[in-house]
Structure 1
Amino acid sequence: MLAARGLKASFFVVGEALKQHRALAERAHAEGHWIGNHTLTHPRPLGESGTEVREIQAAQAELGALAHPDRLFRPSGAGGDLAPGLLSTAAVQALIAGRFTCVLWNAVPGDWKDPDGWVDTALAQIQQQDWTLLVLHDVAGACADRLDELLQRVDAEIVQAYPPACVPIKRGAVRRPVDRYLR
């Protein structure tokens, strides 16, 4: 669907899932999509797992050459909330030391929990802001069945970039405060 429209996206992959579906990630990478780190096992929320540094480093090792040069990382939250516990001091220190770019979001339509209504929710979220970073999921029953509908109905330019407000850490440099994501 993306290729048919000439669109590029970012795929933040869970390291354990990558072991089973590496060919899909290789295809996405070859087609120009950006591949980023979404932890090794997807603990929710990451910052309360007690294994944050291992989750980040092991997933990055699994990505290998597929990883975007900016070492893109998206933490796992609790239901899409940008709340305390999303990150920890140890996670932030690991992201800085590893020169990662931490990518957050400003729209999560709940595709995994509302397969019938997420498209309308996503469209409303997109209309509410100037630049939307929309998170969709590839789990069973999530966005895949209705992605084409979203792409047909969206009245916004789709670009392969991130709003600066959604990137608190870029290439290891803290650009926006992260304290509100720490517990």
Structure 2
Amino acid sequence: MNAGRGPVTRLPSHLCAQALHYLLFAYRGGQLLRRRPTLGSHRWPAFGNPGDGITLTIDDGPHPTWTPPMLDLLDAHGVRATFFLIGDRVREHPELARRVLAAGHLIGNHSMTHPQPFAALPRPMLRAEIDRTQREIEDATGITPRLFRAPGGNWSPAVLRTTADSGLTPVDWTVNPSDWRSPGVERITRTLSRTRPGQIILCHDGGGDRSQTLAALTAVIPRLIGRGLRFVTVAEDR
């Protein structure tokens, strides 16, 4: 969430993007109250999954300190996650991107530099952020991502059109422990423990110290499995 590299200075676009950000924040809150979260399409972000599976998504990596123990934790519990990778980080650590793929996880596109507010970028820059990341992931892993998550969940009509034009499916989330803020293991654990069938969880392995995230997931993953919840990756076709 907080991995931005520099401010976007186009004021009108910035204000519009911020307004959309807060509208989507309210929309996500409504998803928590729904019996089933919105599944989405190529023109609208997915906030949930079909069926009763839950999805763990990991953003802002790969990171040499936090991605390896995250992969070890997931492997210990047989959990497959969806990693939304930043292109610059893939360029720096292609071996970690390959390790994510080799471990059986799904890889999605999370932009090249994680600029924020993402929706304030002009269309050519939006397209470049997405397309450059596609190339970095393809060069590192040999696979072409089919999923995209906007940095900060900062969607707009232009972002959604650009995502669709790039042949990608937009993915948001339902459960957000705000682990990128490092609010404490107890708070992250409490939020994650409330996950229900069909929901998408947002966590991070990059952008800062992720020790709290790892500690919380270490406690929560067996707890959720013990409740009979099954981890699935994000559906690529909608």
TM range (shorter): 0.7 to 0.9
Change (3 A) 1:70 1:25: closer
| Aligned equivalent of 2:3 | none
CA contact (8 A) 1:36 1:68 kept: no
| Aligned equivalent of 2:200 | 133
Question: Normalising to structure 2: TM-score of the pair?
Answer: 0.59
Matching of residues 1-183 of structure 1 within 5 Å: 1-50=73-122, 51-64=125-138, 66=141, 71-77=146-152, 86-113=154-181, 114-116=183-185, 117-124=187-194, 126=195, 129-139=196-206, 140-142=208-210, 143-154=213-224, 155-162=227-234
CA contact (8 A) 1:70 1:101 kept: no
Aligned residues between the structures:
156
Q: 1:69: Cα distance to partner? A: 5.2
Q: Deviations over 1:10-43 (max 9, x none)?
A: 1000111111222111011012111110011112
> The residue matched to 1:109 in structure 2 has which SS?
coil
State the identity %: 29
Change (3 A) 1:55 1:8: same
| Aligned equivalent of 2:25 | none
| Aligned equivalent of 1:179 | none
CA distance in 2, matches of 1:67, 1:44: 28
Q: 1:122: Cα distance to partner? A: 1.5
> Structure 1 regions of 5+ residues with no counterpart?
164-169, 176-183
Q: Deviations over 1:35-78 (max 9, x none)?
A: 1100111122321233322111111111116376561111112x
Q: Which has the larger radius of gyration?
A: 2
CA contact (8 A) 1:35 1:67 kept: no
CA distance in 2, matches of 1:141, 1:132: 25
Change (3 A) 1:36 1:70: closer
Structure scoring higher RCO (CA < 8 A, sep ≥ 6) equals 2
Considering only aligned residues, what root-mean-square deviation do their CA atoms show, in Å? 2.3
CA contact (8 A) 2:85 2:108 kept: yes
CA contact (8 A) 1:40 1:59 kept: yes
CA distance in 1, matches of 2:79, 2:168: 25
CA distance in 2, matches of 1:88, 1:67: 30
Q: 1:156: Cα distance to partner? A: 4.7
CA distance in 1, matches of 2:82, 2:142: 11
| Aligned equivalent of 1:181 | none
Q: Deviations over 1:92-145 (max 9, x none)?
A: 222222211111111111112113221112112x1xx43210010013333123
CA contact (8 A) 2:138 2:144 kept: no
Letter in 2 for 1:99: G
CA contact (8 A) 1:48 1:87 kept: no
